[in-house]
Amino acid sequence: MILDGKFGKYGGIFVPELLIPALEELESAFLKYKDDKDFNTELDYYLREFAGRPTSLYFARNLSEKLGCKIYLKREDMLHTGAHKINNTLGQGILAKYMGKKRIIAETGAGQHGIATAVVGSMLGIPVEVYMGSEDIERQKLNVFRMELSGAKVIPVKTGSRTLKDAINDALRDWIANVENTHYLIGSSMGPHPYPMMVKHFQTVIGKETKNQILEKENELPDAIIACVGGGSNSIGIFSQFLDDEEVELIGVEGGGEGLDSGKHGATLCRGSEGVLHGSLSFILQNDDGQISEAHSVSAGLDYPGVGPEHSYLKVTDRAKYVAITNKDALRGFELLSKYEGIIPALESAHAVEYLEKYAKIPENEGKTIVVNLSGRGDKDMFIVAREMEVKI
Ligand SMILES: *Cc1c(COP(=O)(O)O)cnc(C)c1O
C-alpha cells in the first residue's frame, strides 16, 4: 500500500491477509486514474448525460420564510435512480472498466445501492451481482425487481441477521475468491482503505458544485451545512470542500430510531464506541463484549451499525458535530418539506430537514444561511410513510 488510509487513528485496513493484494491493486488503480484526463472526461460525461449533473442548489423560499433563515437545498434527489449514490457507482464502475474487470459485485441493504450499481453495470455492459440479506429481500421486493430488470442478479444472504452487515461479509468472501476478474463496489465511505478515500473522492462533486453555487448566489460561504449520515458518503461529499473553512459549521444527522435511550437507533457517532467493523477502525454500535449491535431506523439508509472512519475523526477533532433525529421527528421533516416546498424527500434526507427546523429555532441562528444536502427523493419510502402516518394507500 502507498497510503495507510488513516484519518487520525481511524480507518486503516483490518482484513484477512488474502484481501490485501486486491486492495493494493484497487488503490494503485484509483491513484493512477483519479487525475487521468480520459478517465475524468468519461466520468464527467456520464455524470452529466446519464445521471443528470449538475444538480441545482435550490433556494427554499417558503421554508426560509417560515423558519427565518436563508435555506438552500442541494438537490441530489434529482439524480438518476433518486439519490447521490449514482455519483459513486459511476466512478467505481468506470474505474472497474479501466481495470479490465469483467464482473461487479455489491452489497445492498434496502436496495438503493444495488439499483445504482445495477444501472451502471447495465450501461457499461459489465454483469452485476448484488448480495442482499434474505430478510431485506422480503421487505424490499420492489427494489429487487428493479435490480433484476436492469439485468443484475440478486443473491440472497441467509446468515446472521440476514441483513446488510451479513451481505457485506458474503460480498467480501466472494471478492477474495474472484478477485482477478471482479470489482467489489462498496456503496458508502466505509470499509477498508482505499474505499473511504475513494468513495469520498467520487462524492466530492456534491461539495464542489455547492461551493461554486453558493458563492455565485450569496457571494459568501454558508454559515452551516446539514447532511444525514448513514455510512457517511453524501455528508463527506458535501463537507469535503468546506473542511478548511472553519467558519462553516458542519452538522451530520444520524438516525435516532426510537430514541437514543431506547437502544433502538442507528446513531453510531452519537452513541457508539470505537471498534473494528468491515475492515476499518471507527465508531460502531456494539455491546460490552464487542458484539455488533443491530441498528434501527425508519430509513433503511441510516440503519447501519458502523460509520465511515473520517466522520469519527471529524467528531473527535470537533470539526463536525453529530446529532440524531428520531423516526417520529424525521416524519415531521418529511411532511414539512413536502408541504412547504413541494419536494418529497427520502426518509434519510428528512432527518437532515428536521434537524434544520430545530437548528433554525435556536435564537442565535436566526437569519443564517444554511445548506441542506437533500441526498435523495422519497418515492421509495411512500409505503413506509403511509404506514407511519396511518394512511391507507
Ligand atoms: C443510502 C442513502 C443515504 C445514506 O448513505 P450515506 O453513505 O450516509 O450517504 C442517505 N440518503 C439516501 C437518499 C440514501 O439512499
* Structure confidence by residue, pLDDT tens digits, 324-340: 999 999 999 999 999 99
Which of 74, 234, 236, when mutated, tests ligand 1's pocket best, judged by the most ligand atoms within 8 Å of its CB?
Answer: 234
Whether 107 sits among the annotated catalytic residues: the reply is: yes
User: What does the pLDDT read at residue 4?
Assistant: 96
Q: Which atom of ligand 1 is nearest to the CA of 109?
A: 1
**Closest residue CA from atom 2 of ligand 1:** 301
Q: Which atom of ligand 1 is nearest to the CA of 188?
A: 7
Return all residues near 250 (Cβ < 8 A) that are at least 6 apart: 224, 225, 239, 242, 243, 314, 319, 320, 321
CA of 358 to the centre of ligand 1 (A): 21
Whether this prediction's pTM lies above 0.95 is answered by: yes
Whether 282 sits among the annotated catalytic residues: the reply is: no
Whether 299 sits among the annotated catalytic residues: the reply is: no
User: What does the pLDDT read at residue 209?
Assistant: 99
User: What does the pLDDT read at residue 139?
Assistant: 82
Active-site pick, 85, 97, 101, 165: 85
**Closest residue CA from atom 1 of ligand 1:** 301
CA of 346 to the centre of ligand 1 (A): 9
Which of 236, 268, 312, 375, when mutated, tests ligand 1's pocket best, judged by the most ligand atoms within 8 Å of its CB?
Answer: 375
3-state SS record for the chain: CCCCCEECCEECCCCCHHHHHHHHHHHHHHHHHCCCHHHHHHHHHHHHHHHCCCCCEEECHHHHHHHCCEEEEEEHHHCHHHECHHHHHHHHHHHHHHCCCCEEEEEECCCHHHHHHHHHHHHHCCCEEEEEEHHHHHHCHHHHHHHHHCCCEEEEECCCCCCHHHHHHHHHHHHHHHCCCEEECCCCCCCCCCHHHHHHHHHHHHHHHHHHHHHHHHCCCCCEEEEECCCCHHHHHHHHHHCCCCCCEEEEEEECCCCCCCCCCCCHHHHCEEEEECCEEEEECECCCCCECCCCCCCHHHCCCCCCHHHHHHHHCCCEEEEEECHHHHHHHHHHHHHHHCCCECHHHHHHHHHHHHHHHCHHHCCCEEEEEECEECHHHHHHHHHHCCCCC
Q: Which atom of ligand 1 is nearest to the CA of 229?
A: 8
Per-residue cell: 125: 455492459
- Long-range contacts made by residues 380-386, C-beta under 8 angstroms, separation at least 24? 380/82, 380/110, 380/112, 380/143, 380/346, 381/299, 381/334, 381/346, 381/347, 384/298, 384/347, 385/331, 385/334, 385/347
User: What does the pLDDT read at residue 161?
Assistant: 83
CA of 363 to the centre of ligand 1 (A): 30
Q: Which of 341, 347, 354 minimizes the C-alpha distance to 375?
A: 347
Q: Which atom of ligand 1 is nearest to the CA of 187?
A: 7
**Closest residue CA from atom 13 of ligand 1:** 376
Contact 304, 109 (CB under 8 A): yes
Question: What's the length of the chain?
Answer: 393
CA pair distance 156, 214, nearest whole angstrom: 44
pLDDT digits (tens, 9 = 90+) for 157-178: 999 888 888 999 999 999 999 9
Which of 75, 77, 228, when mutated, tests ligand 1's pocket best, judged by the most ligand atoms within 8 Å of its CB?
Answer: 228
- Angle in degrees, CA 103, 32, 45, rounded to 5: 70
- Ranges of residues in the chain with a pLDDT under 50 are none
* CB-based pocket (< 6 A), ligand 1: 83, 85, 112, 188, 228-235, 301, 346, 348-349, 375-376
User: In sequence order, what are the beta bridge partners of 253?
Assistant: 228, 323
CA pair distance 4, 298, nearest whole angstrom: 35
CA of 70 to the centre of ligand 1 (A): 24
Per-residue cell: 295: 441498528
Active-site pick, 27, 107, 249, 348: 107
Query: What letter represents residue 125's amino acid?
Result: G
